[in-house]
Amino acid sequence: MKYCRWFLGTIGGLSLLALPSFVYGQDEVPLPKQISDLATQVDWLWTVVAACLVFFMQAGFSLVEGGFTRAKNVVNIMMKNVADLSIGAIGFWAIGFGLMFSGSEAYEFFVDPDANSFGQDANWMYAFLLFQTVFAATAATIVSGAVAERTKFGAYLIFSVVITAVIYPVQGAWSWGGLWNGGGWLENLGFVDFAGSTVVHSVGGWAALAGVIVLGPRRGKYNADGTMNPIVGHNMAMGALGVFILWLG
């Protein structure tokens, strides 16, 4: 108890000694600068919060896809949704971000920790990188549900790298390049995609359509005479919960 009081008293004394310099330092900062700094911090925070919501969509897609497939394939579906984010994030960090936002004059692999190559603040760069990474993973995981029960795990991993490192960044550079450095040709023509309906969801949808065309229907889906056999999901409650999570994201 004696040592505890001594420790608390020491901390309190040091805090009081530091208070005048803290107040003086605060008074030295002009009010407009304080407001500007606060707005910047709030902008960073909102970007990270939005990224967390988009990240949570991975759980939503996992539940939707798992609920609407047969029980024997649920583990495969869950592993694909975990893997496309894991390996896709590495691919986007190593290749995709530079391809998407370096502009037309230069290209750099990996993300520069100091953001010198992009001329931006490093803290904002990390927040923006997180936001774009989860968007890239969302484009990849859309395909997982469309080709469920028809792809091998290894083949899907290769596809996840391709879409997050090349396909999504190319479309993103055309439409969102001006968010960071320069502008893409679609953006220069007046094209606006506010929340990713084209850059994210359309890219994922077209890639899913291509996969479905190549792979064809699930085995046992159609009879020889062309009639269809219903293949129902194993857990509608899981699928419904996933839908609500996707609405939130």
Query: What are 199's two structure tokens?
Result: 């850059």
| pLDDT surpasses 60 at 4 | no
pLDDT at 117: 47
pLDDT in tens, 35-55: 888 888 888 899 999 999 999
| pLDDT surpasses 60 at 216 | yes
Residue with tokens 């859309």: 142
| pLDDT surpasses 50 at 11 | no
Pick left, alpha or beta for residue 182 (phi over 0 → left; psi -120 to 50 → alpha; otherwise beta).
Answer: left
| Tally of CA atoms within 13 A in the half-sphere of 216 that contains its CB | 4
Residue 97: which of 64, 137, 63 has the closest Cα? Answer: 137
Residue 124 — pLDDT band, cuts 50, 70, 90? confident
pLDDT at 98: 84
Domain spans in the chain, listed from the N-terminal domain onward:
27-248
pLDDT at 109: 57
State whether residue 183 is helix, strand or coil: coil
1-5, 71-75, 168-172: least confidently modelled range = 1-5
pLDDT in tens, 59-99: 999 999 999 999 999 999 999 999 999 999 999 999 998 88
Domain 27-248, CATH among 1.10.3720.10, 1.10.3430.10, 3.30.160.100, 3.10.110.10? 1.10.3430.10
CA distances from 102 to 49, 163, 189, 211, 249 (A): 25, 18, 19, 30, 28
CB atoms within 10 A of CB 79: 14
- Measured in degrees and rounded to the nearest 5, phi and psi for residue 217 equal -70, 165
Q: Are 242 and 64 in contact (CB under 8 A)?
A: yes
